[in-house]
Structure 1
Amino acid sequence: MPSSVMSTIIPAGGHGNPAPIAVSAVGLRKSYGDKTVLDGVDLRIPAGSVFALLGPNGAGKTTAVKILSTLISADGGQVQVAGHDLATSPDKVRAAIGVTGQFSAVDGLITGEENMLLMADLHHLSKREGRRVTAELLERFDLVDAAKKPAQSYSGGMKRRLDIAMTLVGNPRIIFLDEPTTGLDPRSRHNMWQIVRDLVTGGVTVFLTTQYLEEADQLADHIAVLNNGRIAAEGTADELKRLIPGGHVRLRFSDPSAYQSAASALRDATRDDEALALQIPNDGSQRELRSILDWLDSAGIEADELTVHTPDLDDVFFALTAAGAPDPTRQPNQTGQTGQPKETVR
């Protein structure tokens, strides 16, 4: 396939238009001396989506970003970014991407506006176009009032917004955000999440690395967990949560006779006679939840409270990255912790 043509995938079921692939990696490898950092990593990221790469410190997340953004070379594997071969067309890859690292690229000694104009010069924009783009992005990121102030006076959240605004000067199709909310307060972190959502709405693909599991749960269309240089598991947040056992539905009753009837019929349920509650193993899927509700209706039994307990991404992360975790090439669902209540239906 020519490097200028983006590969595609057909959505499940074969319906709809093919989704272009923004980033594709097969067998990505990188070592430093005798330390293997990436050991045959495969990635396939659709355009216009948020992909989150999770992993403990030292798992290789930043190394993967540096390779995909042409900052360092891989030891092996085939990579295409924005339809261009990373090995043969690195300049075309660089023209299509933007990168915001863990540490801000903002120069604190000059103003926010001057940082933006400097970036415009680096992208060889004319002075008129550079000023137009700068004014537009400063307004978009709510930095107009601070534009003439030295960037060193900015808060952490403002510096992060300026950093991403600088990244957007070149109008990239793919943005790599390497732990973009590290050190931010909760309000600034939520503001950054909205920025990411707005970018994707505009057609940008976001490759996100993060240690904040809630961040991945909130933003990512697809998540991969990197551990010991390999992808331990990947899928949507809900798919990953279903890998970990411990999901169940809890039925609570106020009528002892209804409780006894349900307990007699649901023999797989764990009883709590004192609380008049039953715990039924369940993966939290809509299909299985509906089957329980349909059974209650058909039996004429009314539960006072139905609570769905599902493992969360914390459970998934700990199960897949803990010492002694299963080999990622095997089914990673033999370990885990019981999740906490996520939803209550009354």
Structure 2
Amino acid sequence: MPDDYLIFRPDDVDLSRSPLRTSIAEPTYVLGAFNPGFTRLPNGNLLLMVRVAEALQDPVHGDSARAIRWAADGYHLDRHPLHGIHMDDPRQFALKDRNPRLLGLTSLSWLLPVELDAEGRIILTIHYDKAIAPTASFLEYGVEDARISKVDDTYWMTVCGVSAERHCTAMYRSANGLDYELLGVVLDHQNKDMLLFEGKVGGKFIALTRPLGEVYFAYPEDSEWLGGPSINMAQSPDGLHWKPLDTPGIRARKGTTSTQRIGGGSQPVLTPEGWMMIYHGVEKQDAVGVYRSFWALLDKDDPSKILRVEDEVPLLEANPTLTADIAHQMYLPTPVVFTTGVADAGDHYIVASGEADLACRITQIPKERFR
């Protein structure tokens, strides 16, 4: 098998074992099986925590579009009149004449643990019995984009919780990497792409964050920086209560392709040179944008000190040859690769990404690439 390949695709999901089957009988399909959290289990095998975006085969019924919503008594289909919405993005619709925008999703996401061999080349077990589905109102529209970090002997997993209440980061915790306990909300509305460093600094947890907002302010014209969403950092005494660092983190820079936004990708891992992290940068194009992966190096004793940012030559770009055999399932108009985790494999790193918001990609990258 080559060193860059798809390891898990939409057709690999058995929807007869989906959590939605408990209360929705209507036909569904897998819009995407992508953006996997990634870690190494105690037995040495690798784990993908795959985001399964499950959508109705017929989201439009009569004069309404329907969204799937979890509640304590089961899953429900909410109707939104077609005359009151815009549907120009296959992943969502927007209510007309609302400021700020109000969105509905065409799918609901849940997490599926997929165990791989130690080199990430073979699927060993798909753990449907350990799938993670919404169980709280702040997750009512889905559990998205898991990121896993092992700190000491504990696995910490952040997810993006989607609901009408808030668009938040929620935290799960596990002793074995497979069985997770929901601890609740740790970052409030639209503070996303949270990744814990795989190790403490000065006895404290450190994490990447990425707050979003409606308003940003311009840098001076002669500044090298662009305004807009950036990667910030925060620290915590216990992994649950977080204080943002005062200093800025990684920002979009003029003269690069990352002109729309940037955000965390892989959990920062400690190397002899410092904390290595992979992040995504987005170039504005159409409604979604072009997503690429870049990398940076942070000081091992003070991660707020950025030692190196490789933001000109991408580490990873979308690879259409990987998705050629599932091109009929593609729905995004622009190239997307979204890195979500890294594992040490001796002389190389194993990098997990979502490809085209459709499938899970594994890339084996020599460590020399990061020097």
After TM superposition, the score normalised by the length of structure 1 is 0.27
TM-score between both structures, scaled by the size of structure 2: 0.26
Whose Rg is larger?
1
The structure with the greater share of residues assigned to strand is 2
